């Protein structure tokens, strides 16, 4: 079903997010797992979402919103997520203005994310009654000739870099903002498995799960 790689039959196509905040999981995996029949794809969540949905992956880290959009297609591995109760520390809205001043201002939304893009819109539009203009992209790839955004949504490594650089005087941790307004934790990403793969290859799914829980 999954083809060959260097003459080895691929039994699982696995998607990994290689960010600093996933290092406790992925770095252990890279050091300990030696399976030539498992093919690893490293990509941002937005890419892994598409690949899992289009059957280019069998399982991997995907946005929680991707699961919510297609709950009948996926299963979730328990105890494996990027989530927070309060500050998440790696998903920020960085702003040149106070949050209240972002109405009708341009906000750059990370093209690497799906869940965080929806979450920041909920926080701004529903919690704060603020309606900015949006554009998709990355802070590291801004076009000098384009309109400069007043705020930037960044995730993962880009968010950690911007936090250290302190270019923006205002920052909003999305996990913290969600918890303050709802009292609830927030799940940004889950380990999703295609339902058909679960049915056809249960032993492989279990083997991957056991490696992830080492």
> Cα 72 to chain center, whole Å?
20
Query: Is the model's pLDDT at 28 over the cut of 70?
Result: yes
The Cα–Cα gap between 19 and 48 comes to: 13
Residues of the chain with CATH 3.40.190.10: 4-84+187-212, 91-184
The reported pLDDT for the residue numbered 117 is 96
The reported pLDDT for the residue numbered 33 is 82
Q: Is the dihedral of CA 141, 143, 146, 149 positive or negative?
A: positive
Give CATH for domain 91-184.
3.40.190.10
| Architecture of the structural domain at 4-84+187-212 | 3-Layer(aba) Sandwich (3.40)
Q: Is the dihedral of CA 120, 86, 91, 95 positive or negative?
A: positive
Tokens of 208: 């991957």
Query: Is the model's pLDDT at 2 over the cut of 70?
Result: no
Range from 149-153, 167-171, 210-214 carrying the lowest mean pLDDT: 210-214
The reported pLDDT for the residue numbered 5 is 54
The Cα–Cα gap between 137 and 152 comes to: 9
Mean pLDDT along residues 119-144: 92
Burial zone of 77 (CB within 10 Å; 0-12 exposed, 13-18 middle, 19+ buried): middle
Q: Could you write out the DSSP letters of every residue in 58-114?
A: SEEEEEHHHHHH-TTTEEEEEEEEEEESS--SSEEEEESS-GGG-TT-EEEEETT-S
**Tens digits of residue pLDDT in 37-82:** 999 999 999 999 999 999 999 999 999 999 999 999 999 999 988 8
The reported pLDDT for the residue numbered 25 is 76
The Cα–Cα gap between 159 and 21 comes to: 11
**Tens digits of residue pLDDT in 147-164:** 899 999 999 999 999 999
Query: Is the model's pLDDT at 20 over the cut of 90?
Result: no
Mean pLDDT along residues 114-118: 95
Please check whether residue 204 is in contact with residue 183, taking contact to mean a CB–CB distance below 8 angstroms.
Answer: no
Tokens of 118: 């929806």
The reported pLDDT for the residue numbered 192 is 96
Cβ-proximal residues to 121 (8 Å cutoff; 6+ apart), any chain: 134
């Amino acid at each position: 079903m999954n083809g060959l790689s260097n003459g080895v039959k691929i039994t699982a196509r696995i998607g990994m997010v290689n960010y600093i905040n996933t290092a406790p999981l992925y770095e252990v995996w890279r050091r300990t797992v030696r399976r030539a029949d498992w093919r690893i794809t490293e990509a941002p969540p937005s890419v892994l979402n598409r690949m899992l949905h289009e059957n280019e992956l069998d399982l991997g880290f995907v946005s929680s919103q991707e699961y919510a959009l297609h709950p009948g297609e996926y299963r979730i591995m328990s105890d494996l997520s990027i989530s927070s109760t309060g500050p998440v520390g790696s998903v920020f809205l960085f702003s040149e203005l106070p949050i209240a001043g972002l109405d009708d201002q341009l906000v750059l939304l990370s093209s690497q994310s799906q869940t965080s893009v929806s979450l920041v819109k909920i926080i701004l539009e529903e919690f704060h009654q603020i309606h900015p203009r949006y554009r998709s992209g990355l802070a590291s790839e801004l076009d000098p000739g384009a309109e400069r955004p007043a705020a930037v949504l960044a995730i993962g490594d880009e968010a950690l870099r911007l936090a250290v650089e302190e270019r923006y005087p205002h920052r909003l941790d999305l996990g913290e903002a969600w918890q303050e307004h709802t009292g609830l934790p927030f799940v940004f990403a889950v380990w999703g498995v295609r339902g058909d793969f679960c049915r056809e290859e249960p032993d492989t799914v279990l083997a991957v799960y056991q490696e992830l829980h080492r």
